[in-house]
């Protein structure tokens, strides 16, 4: 340490102020010189840390928050994995996961055994190379490449290689401290099995009930999610594996509960990106001991061998996987950039090795410098090749969409607005597409009070729309007829989709829903969704999608089908598609064109009567029923899908469902190509 200036214990306010300024300024400066902000934060930690200029101590609160940031990073990585896509891409995941573990583990063991280290020390050091930390993952999120095949393989491979590397660490530590007897293996396997049962059976069930009970109270759900993430990390340590595995598994466990475009997911990502993860990166930089670099040649030799070994073996694993999986060179470099960075498991391995006396200071300092080097290389590679892949996929598909999607949200009851906003946000194609909350007022009587109430409803809805990271454009229409006010708003603002709530009440026997909704459907031509949502949409375990007969071949209906599959993908929820037998071939063709990441199951029926009997009698509160229908007096089937809302509302009043209508005019469908933009 060159000099000590600020202590977290004596000057906590100033310390946190400096840290926040670093988090703010450093990434901006490094982006100006075309380097990832992650690199800047790592270097900033090295400079201001106790082993650099000693401006800020790493002990105490900084140490705790840095470790929480590490867990947060692994938790976010687990959240971002689309489990259905992970199952579809399991071949890619297994191939890459195996290669990125075994190549570094085997070569690293041989190299360090040749350098004179014991077999146990060599295996432990090699486990540092076998694991990796997704330090550059925030770049992937920013570029919108979370669902790209090479990214899915890299992130999925993290599950396999990090778990295997940390299990190797546990076994090596036990071999030094005691005997690897049968009781050790029984205990390890038994406790790990119980841990997996808790993570993927018990915790999801408890969480579903909690989310359903709490509803849209954001601060409670956020505290619950982060609290459970930390508890899962602690449980992982209790059973003998590292906390980062527990945090990663927690992300997988909560995966289906946080819709990709919902407010809770946005809050989790915001706090991680703005505070916890930057603090972790600064904390990693603080571990570098600059003075040791000039004290011994051995440190440089060890550091050089470790750095070259990890870079070469991770590069070899990435490109070998790419050749086997038919990935392009850009995708191979992307995988390398993501999996080259060392931090989490490496720090765990080196600290454990030091505690049990298996490795010395030269490995510690070599590991720290290896972490710094790989954390600089990884983000730079991901940034470079991520833009290339984004140019070919994400950015290219966005350029094809010349007309923005505009969603109108007619509101009357503020209690239901949060669920309608979340539904609307999850059918959007692009983040920049606006949502228009609408309130129609009648000036015939008590106009001032009506306008004041309308403004309050719109202010509430606008806040909820901003919470899902979307653009809000509130609208007030004045009209004696509410349905006519909705129609006028659709024309004024070039609306493409309408999302409106329904309370389940049917006023007359001649209508499907009631006067306002039925009038709106008869006078508008946009794609429309009539929503009866009695619980948050993230709490549904399954989507049941009922397809209208003899309509799916139309462009507008195909667009609606694509929208609904996009909803399922954003909710990370499996889909059962109910259809008549004669529609199977056409449905399969459209699915093959859209290629959704969701897990789809086709359920066919011979007659509409048997289909309707099935969905009206077996649909539970855990099912999200979506029924496609036609406007006006036309019926999807012989008996008519117009009967479904009435039957469900009367027989299953607590059931949530959506009746979805395609655009009524073929010529007004806005870009059928948007179907394939996923």
3-class secondary structure per residue, 308-366: HHHHHHHHHHHHHHHHHHCCCHHHHHHHHHHHHCCCHHHHHHHHHHHHCCCCCHHHHHH
> What is the tens place of the pLDDT at every residue in 574-588?
889 888 888 888 888
Percent of the chain with pLDDT over 90: 13
Structure tokens at 636: 């999807």
Owner of token pair 């086997």? 324
Structure tokens at 163: 């778990």
* Residue 227 sits in the same domain as residue 256: yes
| Residue 241 forms part of a structural domain | yes
Q: Is the pLDDT of residue 5 over 80?
A: no
Q: Is the pLDDT of residue 191 over 60?
A: yes
Give me the CATH number covering residue 623: 3.40.50.620
pLDDT at 398: 44
| Residue 593 forms part of a structural domain | yes
Q: How far is the C-alpha of 600 from the C-alpha of 547, rounded, in Å? A: 13
> What is the tens place of the pLDDT at every residue in 530-553?
998 888 888 888 899 988 766 666
* Residue 115 sits in the same domain as residue 225: yes
| Residue 64 forms part of a structural domain | no
| Residue 601 forms part of a structural domain | yes
Q: How many domains would you assign to the chain? A: 3
Instruction: Tell which of 531, 562, 597 closes a domain.
Output: 531
* Residue 380 sits in the same domain as residue 495: no
Under DSSP, the state recorded for 200 is: I
Q: What is the 3-state secondary structure (H, E, C) of 215-278?
A: CCCHHHHHHHHHHHHHHHHHHHHHCCCCHHHHHHHHHHHCHHHCCCCCHHHHHHHHHHHHHHHH
CB of 637 closer than 8 Å to CB of 610: no
Weakest-pLDDT range from 249-263, 306-320, 660-674: 660-674
Q: Is the pLDDT of residue 68 over 70?
A: yes
DSSP, residue by residue, 45-108: HHHHSTTTT-SB--STHHHHHHHHHHHHHHHHHHHH--HHHHHHTHHHHHHHHHHHHHHHHHHH
| Residue 580 forms part of a structural domain | yes
Instruction: Tell which of 507, 531, 555 closes a domain.
Output: 531
Q: Is the pLDDT of residue 61 over 80?
A: no
> Confidence band (pLDDT; 50, 70, 90) for 489?
very high
> Confidence band (pLDDT; 50, 70, 90) for 89?
confident
Q: Report which listed range, 12-26, 72-86, 278-292, 632-646, is most confident.
A: 12-26
Q: What are φ and ψ of residue 116, in 5° steps?
A: 105, 5
Which one, of 113, 101, 231, 107, lies nearest residue 168 by Cα? 101
In this prediction the pTM is: 0.71
* Residue 93 sits in the same domain as residue 238: yes
> What is the tens place of the pLDDT at every residue in 586-616?
888 877 777 666 778 888 888 777 887 888 7
The better pLDDT of the pair 381, 367 is held by 381
Contacts of 577 (CB under 8 A, 6+ apart): 545, 547, 587, 600, 601, 602, 603
Percent of the chain with pLDDT over 70: 84
* Residue 233 sits in the same domain as residue 343: yes
357 pairs with which residues across the strands? none
Q: Report which listed range, 37-41, 87-91, 120-124, is most confident.
A: 120-124
| Residue 49 forms part of a structural domain | no
Q: How far is the C-alpha of 236 from the C-alpha of 231, rounded, in Å? A: 9
Q: Is 664 helix (H, G, I), strand (E, B) or coil?
A: coil
* Residue 558 sits in the same domain as residue 527: no
* Residue 526 sits in the same domain as residue 537: no
Weakest-pLDDT range from 218-232, 311-325, 603-617, 625-639: 625-639
| Residue 30 forms part of a structural domain | no
Q: CA angle, 169 as apex, 165 and 173 as ends, to 5°?
A: 170
Under DSSP, the state recorded for 115 is: T
| Residue 2 forms part of a structural domain | no
pLDDT at 640: 52
544 pairs with which residues across the strands? 576, 625
pLDDT at 506: 65
Q: Is the pLDDT of residue 394 over 70?
A: no
Which one, of 316, 296, 274, 252, lies nearest residue 101 by Cα? 316
Longest dimension (CA), the chain: 91
Question: Range of 496's domain?
Answer: 401-531
Query: Taking the CB of residue 448, how many other CB atoms lie within 10 A of it?
Result: 8
* Residue 518 sits in the same domain as residue 570: no
* Residue 652 sits in the same domain as residue 538: yes
Structure tokens at 270: 């915001």
> What is the tens place of the pLDDT at every residue in 451-482?
888 888 888 888 888 888 888 889 898 888 88
* Residue 387 sits in the same domain as residue 526: no
Q: How far is the C-alpha of 135 from the C-alpha of 39, rounded, in Å? A: 10
* Residue 503 sits in the same domain as residue 560: no
| Helix ranges restricted to H, 595-642 | 608-618
Q: How far is the C-alpha of 659 from the C-alpha of 530, rounded, in Å? A: 5
Instruction: Tell which of 531, 553, 587 closes a domain.
Output: 531
**What is the signed CA dihedral for 389, 395, 396, 398, rounded to 10 degrees?**
150
Under DSSP, the state recorded for 205 is: H
- Rg of the Cα trace of the chain? 28
Q: What are φ and ψ of residue 478, in 5° steps?
A: -110, 115
Give me the CATH number covering residue 113: 1.20.1530.20
* Residue 443 sits in the same domain as residue 387: no
Mean pLDDT in residue range 166-195: 77
Mean pLDDT score across all residues of the chain: 80
């Amino acid at each position: 340490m060159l000099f000590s200036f600020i202590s977290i214990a004596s000057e906590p306010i100033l310390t946190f102020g400096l840290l926040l300024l670093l988090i703010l300024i450093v990434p901006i400066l490094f982006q100006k010189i075309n380097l990832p902000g992650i690199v800047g934060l790592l270097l900033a930690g090295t400079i201001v840390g106790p082993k650099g200029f000693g401006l800020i101590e790493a002990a105490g609160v900084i140490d705790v928050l840095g470790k929480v940031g590490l867990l947060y990073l692994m938790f976010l990585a687990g959240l971002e994995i689309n489990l259905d896509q992970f199952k579809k891409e399991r071949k890619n995941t297994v191939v890459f996961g195996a290669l990125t573990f075994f190549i570094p583990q085997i070569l690293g063991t041989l190299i360090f055994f040749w350098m004179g280290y014991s077999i146990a020390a060599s295996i432990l050091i090699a486990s540092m190379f076998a694991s990796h930390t997704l330090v550059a993952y925030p770049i992937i999120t920013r570029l919108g490449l979370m669902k790209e095949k090479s990214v899915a393989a890299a992130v999925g491979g993290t599950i396999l290689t990090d778990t295997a590397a940390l299990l190797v660490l546990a076994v090596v530590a036990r071999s030094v401290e005691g005997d690897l007897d049968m009781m050790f293996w029984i205990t390890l396997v038994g406790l790990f099995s119980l841990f997996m049962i808790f993570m993927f059976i018990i915790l999801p069930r408890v969480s579903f009930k909690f989310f359903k009970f709490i509803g849209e109270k954001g601060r409670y759900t956020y505290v619950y999610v982060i609290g459970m993430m930390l508890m899962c990390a602690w449980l992982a340590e209790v059973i003998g594996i590292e906390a980062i595995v527990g945090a990663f598994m927690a992300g997988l466990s909560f995966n289906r509960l946080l819709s990709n475009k919902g407010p809770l997911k946005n809050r989790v990502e915001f706090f991680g990106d703005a505070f916890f993860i930057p603090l972790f990166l600064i904390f990693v930089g603080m571990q570098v001991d600059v003075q040791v670099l000039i004290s011994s040649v051995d440190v440089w030799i060890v550091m050089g061998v470790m750095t070259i070994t990890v870079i070469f073996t991770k590069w070899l694993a990435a490109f070998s996987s790419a050749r086997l999986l038919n990935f392009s060179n850009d995708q191979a470099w992307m995988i390398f950039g993501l999996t080259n960075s060392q931090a989490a498991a490496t720090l765990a391995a080196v600290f454990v090795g030091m505690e049990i006396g298996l490795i010395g200071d030269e490995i510690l300092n070599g590991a720290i410098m290896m972490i710094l080097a790989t954390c600089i290389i990884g983000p730079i590679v991901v940034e470079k090749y991520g833009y290339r892949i984004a140019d070919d996929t994400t950015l290219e598909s966005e350029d094809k969409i010349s007309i923005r999607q505009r969603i109108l949200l007619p509101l009357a009851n503020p209690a239901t607005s949060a669920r309608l906003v979340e539904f609307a946000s999850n059918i959007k194609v692009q983040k920049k597409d606006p949502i228009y909350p609408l309130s129609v007022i009648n000036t015939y009587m008590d106009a001032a009070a009506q306008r004041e109430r309308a403004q309050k409803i719109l202010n509430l809805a606008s806040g909820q729309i901003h919470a899902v990271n979307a653009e809000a454009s509130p609208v007030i229409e004045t009209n004696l007829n509410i349905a006519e006010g909705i129609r006028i708003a659709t024309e004024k603002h070039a609306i493409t989709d309408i999302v409106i709530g329904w309370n389940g009440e049917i006023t007359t026997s001649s209508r499907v829903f009631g006067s306002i909704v039925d009038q709106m459907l008869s006078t508008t031509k946009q794609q429309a969704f009539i929503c009866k949502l009695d619980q948050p949409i993230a709490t549904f375990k399954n989507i049941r999608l009922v397809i209208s007969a003899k309509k799916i071949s139309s462009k507008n209906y195909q667009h609606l089908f694509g929208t609904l599959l996009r909803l399922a993908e954003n909710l990370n929820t499996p889909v059962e598609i109910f259809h008549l037998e004669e529609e199977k071939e056409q449905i399969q063709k459209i699915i093959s064109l859209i290629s959704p990441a969701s897990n789809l199951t086709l359920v066919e029926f011979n007659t509409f009567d048997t289909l309707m009997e099935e969905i009206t009698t077996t649909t539970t509160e855990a099912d999200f029923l979506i029924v496609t229908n036609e406007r006006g007096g036309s019926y999807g089937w012989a008996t008519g899908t117009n009967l479904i809302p009435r039957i469900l509302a009367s027989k299953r009043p607590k059931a949530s469902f959506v009746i979805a209508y395609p655009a009524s005019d073929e010529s007004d469908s806005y870009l059928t190509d948007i179907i394939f933009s996923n």
